[in-house]
Amino acid sequence: MVANELPSDPLQLFAERPWRQVSPEAQAPARHVPTMLSTEESQFYYWLARDWARGTGHTVDLGAFIGGSTARFATGQQAAGRTTPIIAYDRFTADPQVKRSLLYPAGIPAFSGNDILLLAHRLLTPFKPMVELRPGEFLEQGWSGEPIEILCVDIAKTAETADHVAAEFFPHLIPGRSIVVQQDFLHEIQPWLPAQMTLLRRHFTPLARIAHHCVAFLCTSVPTSASLDRARVAPLSDAQLTRLVRRAALSYRGLAGRYRFASMVRRISENPETREAWRMRRHRDTP
Ligand SMILES: C[S@@+](CC[C@H](N)C(=O)[O-])C[C@H]1O[C@@H](n2cnc3c(N)ncnc32)[C@H](O)[C@@H]1O
């Protein structure tokens, strides 16, 4: 494919799942950076940066943790010989449980406190100056206005955050080119994500489901600020949210069985007015 040329049929391209051909050797430059991503998600992020991106906009990694996803994007981009900026947002903190279960088994020496910003900088040194970290509370941050070619959303753990992602970042997507990766789209504890994308479905075409929860969308037109305002999910009542999840079950039936959306509906009814993923408990989990 010639640089900047669009694939004639992105649906066909994604249906072939070419990222599954990405070898562990290709991703070796990112291997030292721990990640919460699954094997296929890592392959997908690398492939998006190497084979889909053309450098027509930034890559934005919302919810980078210690930089694992960022490193996979950067490695893919390096393989393509591009140096387009990759901007990573996170609080850059790790609680004791995450340190024990993810960081130490990945070879990070034990450390005190929960700040991982310096560690992330150190681990991402091979990708500087292409990679820029924006630490802090996401709700207090915005976007500088440059076009975005890949927008990876792994930060929308609350409905309010999902609205912030849409308001700040969606206006800067490139129609027919930008991919939005909704990392937790099919996760039963974040029903506001299918609700949001259902409200915006005129602007985004689902291209593929990757592993369990991740879904990639092509932006086909940029939502106006009025349509983004109408698509806000934080103000929805439980009944409205439930209705939208049921509509999502129909709109996205090619991606997942109805049982997945049904379990989102169950979580909503078990957790009235709850819009934080970590509080969307199963009824039998509650004391
Ligand atoms: C599932 S993790 C991301 C995993 C990462 N992409 C990887 O490759 O390992 C989600 C991240 O979102 C961040 N996050 C969630 N809400 C946030 C907020 N309001 N402000 C800043 N960071 C936030 C968390 O700190 C966490 O690191």
pTM exceeding the 0.85 threshold for the entire prediction: yes
Q: How much is the pLDDT for 283?
A: 75
Q: How much is the pLDDT for 7?
A: 63
- Give the span between the Cα atoms of 138 and 145, in whole angstroms: 16
Whether the per-residue pLDDT at 2 is higher than 50: the answer is no
Which amino acid is present at 54? R
Closest residue by Cα to residue 33 from 114, 131, 129, 113: 131
Structure token digits, residue 106: 């990945």
In tens, the pLDDT along 244-264 reads 999 999 999 999 999 999 999
In terms of CATH architecture, what is 10-233?
Answer: 3-Layer(aba) Sandwich (3.40)
- Per-domain boundaries in the chain: 10-233
Which of 139, 155, 164 to mutate to test ligand 1, by most ligand atoms within 8 A of the CB atom? Answer: 155
The ligand 1 atom at the shortest distance from the C-alpha of residue 36 is 9
| pLDDT above 90: percentage of residues in the chain | 95
Mean pLDDT is lowest, of 8-17, 35-44, 98-107, 113-122, for 8-17
- Give the span between the Cα atoms of 119 and 136, in whole angstroms: 15
C-alpha 261 – ligand 1 centre gap (Å): 24
Paired with 209 in beta bridges are 215
Using CB distances shorter than 6 Å, the residues near ligand 1 are: 35-37, 63-65, 68-69, 90-91, 137-139, 154-155, 157, 161
C-alpha 165 – ligand 1 centre gap (Å): 13
- Calculate the average pLDDT of the chain: 95
What are the residues whose beta carbons fall under 8 Å from the beta carbon of 251, sequence distance 6 or more? 198, 201
Quick one: average pLDDT of 22-34?
Answer: 98
Quick one: average pLDDT of 215-226?
Answer: 98
In tens, the pLDDT along 115-170 reads 999 999 999 999 999 999 999 999 999 999 999 999 999 999 999 999 999 999 99
Q: How much is the pLDDT for 1?
A: 40
> Are the C-beta atoms of residues 251 and 217 closer than 8 Å to each other?
no
pLDDT band at 3 (very low <50, low <70, confident <90, very high): very low
What are the residues whose beta carbons fall under 8 Å from the beta carbon of 264, sequence distance 6 or more? 188, 191, 194, 245
- Give the span between the Cα atoms of 21 and 205, in whole angstroms: 24
In tens, the pLDDT along 193-205 reads 999 999 999 999 9
The ligand 1 atom at the shortest distance from the C-alpha of residue 184 is 1
Residue 248: count of CB within 10 angstroms of its CB:
26
Q: How much is the pLDDT for 171?
A: 98
